[in-house]
Structure 1
């Protein structure tokens, strides 16, 4: 039966208790929340009660029960399958007593409160509408979106103050796990547990401040207490302040015989929705305490990350800075106690079309990253780039100011030219008038101040490059044609730094380039083993003429021979940079075939190309050309260039190769392979060959895999092998355990340096899903490492 009455629950707040304590993941992403609860259906906790959709905001108040009695005119007694409904709320109970005078309700038995996003059950509940309070005994609660759940011995809610007080409360995102063991008497004993659980002596939820205050809090892992805090304070929304899980590891610098153990404990400050801070305290076994702080902010038009690290190093204060001398032996230099680093990464959109970005490092000494494990990517690096860029782009005008710098991290690191600054300006103008519709001009100007450390004994200069061009382009679905003329004007103002060997204060290059480029595309329907495809045949030809000008006195600031790429067949210059403009009179030809699905998705491609020369080339990279370079410049044809590509299912492969035109032997190649047999197995590989069987020969292989052996156990590995020197330059392995509610990963890294010594590091991280995470899983690290 059903009755209607004025509901004394109409103003009840009903426990807007808390959001799960979400904390920040320690990675390089912008502001983000912590690890989500697993979405695997098998990992979700069971419902504490079947979810019910509450009535809408326009619904009437109602009460239903198997039996309704009225002991007196002010009291109703509802028993058996009691259902009270109001907008956004459903109350279920075995028995409910309603008092109209006091506007009180007492519920007994299997009491349930269900509203949007939350389920609460209890053994009994007392509600007072006049005082706007509620009290629940032996309660359980669960969030519907994540199924995260917990218990409380007693919950007191005060709607006037928007406070909820929980006594002896708990919280977890884990399902209940049953496990068994054999007792000494031979019987099989069983028990139940959660993988992890937070237990609070007292918990206060302040809905006004949207914050949660926990007292006498224990974190239990596999029923074992692993962390205690007398007080914890975090917000109800999104991210939360609090401790992240520690990183445990060992690290052996290049000059020490034994590894040094360390423990790093981070604390996350959720300062605002758009900025946060992570303070990490690291205890190193010998060096002492390291304090590392990372501040981040994110705005609609800007973001920044500032990292500061400092320590009083007990090792270098006694022994001095350690390094490897020219004989490859450990040596010690200046004694230094205070060591530090600063790193800034920032982007800013100042106005439409105007933006800047910064990556800058500063160190107390060049050996900081070698000794202190705060940035693993730089622990064996020789140098790292630093830059500041300001860019402007509007319509057909682009401009920029750039500063490029190199921070040396080794004594034997090469000195590189730095750009302090480089100013660029480019204007592109397409003609829209009839008859000139396919004609455009391009006006690029670049001015660069090249500087280098005096220890390099190299010249410095200001280089100005002006390369105006005019081109005619014609595109059709069946092909394209382009004619272009470029006038290169390069001028140098040489600095008087004592290393100007050119004999002049000013140097000049004036070299034009003329090119005609044509391409045709033929298509046909193609079927293989019942699979319909489209095959293309794409012949491509380019004529290029560049007259000779002597450039042997020009120093090399940023110019080298081009790295291997199939598109180099149609490049206007066989050198990168602007210090050399190669003379030539040549025709480049290539033939490419592609296999496409009907929707245009690429499946495979193959290409073959070669350059035919009508004259010897005279411009060389250095003033004294090598025998190999002289031989190449007098040949009538270039080597053969071959490209291959394949994408099908789990396999991606791309390769560019160069073969000697006389004996067809491989001289250079660059190959990439990705094999994803399933989501559980991924193999990534890059292979590089340079100058095979020639001076400067080099062959390197970088490969890595991740393999999910079972639903919980996974392994990963990475190797970088130098075939030329027959040594492993870097080896890393990892093993990961990943269950529904927690994961942990152990990784080991070995890095060999040029002196034959090794850097070793071991790192262990743990993650409680839905609560906190730290570190980068090996799978993500591997993708970044191999640039896939």
Structure 2
């Protein structure tokens, strides 16, 4: 029964675990523990407890009047199987069934410590009463007082004149007081009466009655609101309401008030079953007052991942939007303003040890004035991988797809692709050698091709041969440390693909692939199958790594380049036919020590010695809350534009209580700022406040569908947090917000 009392007390006062259990379900962030109040640990050892059913009493003086009553005085220690009680004096009656301890009573168990004037325990009626208590939770800063704590196995728990805070004694910045708290036995809810919220001893909020959950089960109720402002929305207030409809499905309903636009309703429905997980998001803004015609605006998303059988899975991701500027003006958690398409896909998948089969319907909703993307209605793919004896392996890649477009003037096509292969894979711990021969046959049935260079019926037959080999060399010691391990991994590939004129085939799902060191060995330069480049080339590459004694990668560098033995006749846009080699691709990841890290990815055209693409980053990380990151990204030509951007991200403590984060990205090509983001946080041990200011390109679409590149969106947000009343964003999470957000470096090799 004492253990039950402790757990109920924890649920009453540990609001992070119980009172805000709904909020914890909707926000998986851990509570902010970067700055805690000094906690006096509850000194409790279960090794000193008695076996179940036994009680030991120690005292300086003992008086036994009969077998039914005994008095103890002077440093009385009572030890049971769950708790210990220390008191000045104690009285035990009815053969140990009734206990009364008084005079500086101290109760301890594994969860909390309670100081009291008097403790009365009746094991027959299963009741426990404590008078004039001060309680302290083990391992947390939660503490408080109660005039009476009364626990009954039949009635439940009752507390009178309750006080709770997470602030240190003598420095209570905030506190909660209630005249009465009751929790009935078996109930998932507690009731509080005459509750007052105090800030610096000043009452700021009063509730005559409210109910709160006292278990870690999801409960219906209000979640923490979000408050902010921006030039797009004005003052922005969101108040989520969580509805626990059933153990396996729930809903979050969020009214959102925007001073410039009106009231929006956001709903999220989640459903979980043994067959899968489903989410339905709907956002609706009636009569947007910041539009010329008071437009009705909306966004929806239906997502499902399920299992139909032992080897079958199904996936659904369907999105819709009212207009091109919805994400820019109103925003949504599912997409950001840099996205150009919304997905609409339904897929059915089968997998086994040697075969995969997937059937998809793929569609897109384009944002802005962009060429309509072809949709696949439907698309089926079959892949086989079957050993033939101990050396050979049969592989089959096949696909059947029908491509359609909302623009009825554009061609449509049915495509059937079959590519059987015979491979000889030879793999050992010291290296790998693979020989592969493939026949690729693709048949097109194209419609609506009048007045174009396309043919109605096309049959393309290509042959491909591939020979790939790599070796793994390793030695102990390196130029970093004698205990390190250095590896050298050279690799070479010869690739031949026959040529066939493909100008009579439309482009349905084909775009250029970006090139990196690993991409040089994939043997293709386009996504999709509408263009297959003819090859007669040798690819050379090498990777070297340095591993420490714990086998952690400290340094990795890779180089690679393709050497063309013949000119390609199927070329990527922007390339010329007389090139004898590809761009030189290089990647580097270097962890100087536990604080410094450098990473890069670069491609250099050897004919002109010009950088085509590069990505560089240098990061200093002192600890989890202190970091500085400098990044640079360059692309010589991307859709007719040059990308040349530099960014600086910083998260750094100013003092024990103050922390700031900042981020700035600048376009060096156009000499302008892309995003500026500054956040300042003050945090004491029991409360915190965050102020964030942000200015970024709005990327808004005009009436003609063209995206603006000169307009900015500015905003300021404020968040006040009382620790112990729910989870809060830390300064690290504050840095990850915004248009670009912080991204941790990762291994490129």
User: TM tier, shorter chain?
Assistant: 0.7 to 0.9
**Structure 2 residue corresponding to 1:371, chosen from 311, 318, 329:** 329
**Structure 2 residue corresponding to 1:475, chosen from 420, 427, 435:** 427
Give the 3 Å change call, closer, same or farther, for CA 543–26 of structure 1 in structure 2: farther
Q: Does the CA contact (< 8 Å) of 2:662 and 2:735 recur in 1?
A: no
Taking the aligned partners of 1:670 and 1:292, their CA distance within structure 2 comes to: 38
Greater shift, 658-667 or 554-563, is seen at 658-667
**Structure 1 residue corresponding to 2:725, chosen from 741, 763, 771:** 771
**Structure 1 residue corresponding to 2:184, chosen from 188, 197, 206:** 206
Taking the aligned partners of 1:129 and 1:105, their CA distance within structure 2 comes to: 9
Q: Does the CA contact (< 8 Å) of 2:167 and 2:174 recur in 1?
A: no
Secondary structure class of the residue paired with 1:569 = helix
**Structure 2 residue corresponding to 1:233, chosen from 202, 211, 214:** 211
* Offset at residue 250 of structure 1 (A): 1.0
Taking the aligned partners of 1:105 and 1:15, their CA distance within structure 2 comes to: 21
Taking the aligned partners of 1:599 and 1:127, their CA distance within structure 2 comes to: 56
Give runs of aligned pairs for residues 517-556 of structure 1, distance below 5 A: 517-528=468-479, 531-556=482-507
Give the 3 Å change call, closer, same or farther, for CA 11–617 of structure 1 in structure 2: closer
Question: Which residue does the alignment assign to 1:45?
Answer: 39
1:355 equivalenced with 2:309 (yes/no): no
Question: Which residue does the alignment assign to 2:287?
Answer: 313
**Structure 2 residue corresponding to 1:706, chosen from 647, 651, 654:** 651
Taking the aligned partners of 2:275 and 2:630, their CA distance within structure 1 comes to: 37
Secondary structure class of the residue paired with 1:579 = coil
Give runs of aligned pairs for residues 89-238 of structure 1, distance below 5 A: 89-100=83-94, 104-146=98-140, 148-161=142-155, 163-172=156-165, 174-176=166-168, 192-238=170-216
Give the 3 Å change call, closer, same or farther, for CA 529–585 of structure 1 in structure 2: closer
Q: Does the CA contact (< 8 Å) of 1:420 and 1:448 recur in 2?
A: yes
Question: Which residue does the alignment assign to 2:445?
Answer: 493
Question: Which residue does the alignment assign to 2:716?
Answer: 762
Give the 3 Å change call, closer, same or farther, for CA 683–352 of structure 1 in structure 2: farther
Taking the aligned partners of 1:697 and 1:569, their CA distance within structure 2 comes to: 23
Give the 3 Å change call, closer, same or farther, for CA 520–114 of structure 1 in structure 2: closer
Question: Which residue does the alignment assign to 1:680?
Answer: 625
Taking the aligned partners of 2:581 and 2:6, their CA distance within structure 1 comes to: 83
* Offset at residue 557 of structure 1 (A): 1.8
Secondary structure class of the residue paired with 1:454 = coil
Question: Which residue does the alignment assign to 1:577?
Answer: 528
TM-score when scaled to structure 2?
0.87
Secondary structure class of the residue paired with 1:346 = strand
Give the 3 Å change call, closer, same or farther, for CA 217–281 of structure 1 in structure 2: farther
Question: Which residue does the alignment assign to 1:78?
Answer: 72
Q: Does the CA contact (< 8 Å) of 1:194 and 1:222 recur in 2?
A: yes
**Structure 2 residue corresponding to 1:451, chosen from 404, 409, 413:** 404
Give runs of aligned pairs for residues 208-607 of structure 1, distance below 5 A: 208-238=186-216, 241-253=220-232, 260-270=234-244, 275-298=249-272, 302-313=276-287, 315=289, 319-320=292-293, 335-336=294-295, 338-375=296-333, 377-379=335-337, 381-410=339-368, 412-431=369-388, 433=389, 437-454=390-407, 458-496=410-448, 501-528=452-479, 531-598=482-549, 600-607=551-558
**Structure 2 residue corresponding to 1:629, chosen from 575, 583, 587:** 575
* Offset at residue 204 of structure 1 (A): 0.8
Instruction: Report how many aligned residue pairs link the two structures.
Output: 726
Question: Which residue does the alignment assign to 2:703?
Answer: none
Report the aligned-residue RMSD.
3.5
* Offset at residue 122 of structure 1 (A): 1.5
TM-score when scaled to structure 1?
0.83
Q: Does the CA contact (< 8 Å) of 2:8 and 2:214 recur in 1?
A: no
* Offset at residue 397 of structure 1 (A): 1.0
Give the 3 Å change call, closer, same or farther, for CA 529–279 of structure 1 in structure 2: closer
Secondary structure class of the residue paired with 2:308 = strand
Q: Does the CA contact (< 8 Å) of 1:14 and 1:157 recur in 2?
A: no
Q: Does the CA contact (< 8 Å) of 1:13 and 1:159 recur in 2?
A: no
Taking the aligned partners of 1:170 and 1:499, their CA distance within structure 2 comes to: 82
Taking the aligned partners of 2:200 and 2:507, their CA distance within structure 1 comes to: 63
Question: Which residue does the alignment assign to 1:186?
Answer: none
Q: Deviations over 1:225-273 (max 9, x none)?
A: 45443333233222555433322111223xxxxx611222223345566
Give the 3 Å change call, closer, same or farther, for CA 652–297 of structure 1 in structure 2: farther
Q: Does the CA contact (< 8 Å) of 2:455 and 2:505 recur in 1?
A: no
Q: Does the CA contact (< 8 Å) of 1:686 and 1:786 recur in 2?
A: no
Question: Which residue does the alignment assign to 1:3?
Answer: none
Q: Does the CA contact (< 8 Å) of 2:146 and 2:159 recur in 1?
A: yes
Secondary structure class of the residue paired with 1:176 = coil
Q: Does the CA contact (< 8 Å) of 2:6 and 2:111 recur in 1?
A: no
* Offset at residue 559 of structure 1 (A): 1.6
Q: Does the CA contact (< 8 Å) of 1:685 and 1:786 recur in 2?
A: no
Question: Which residue does the alignment assign to 1:639?
Answer: 583
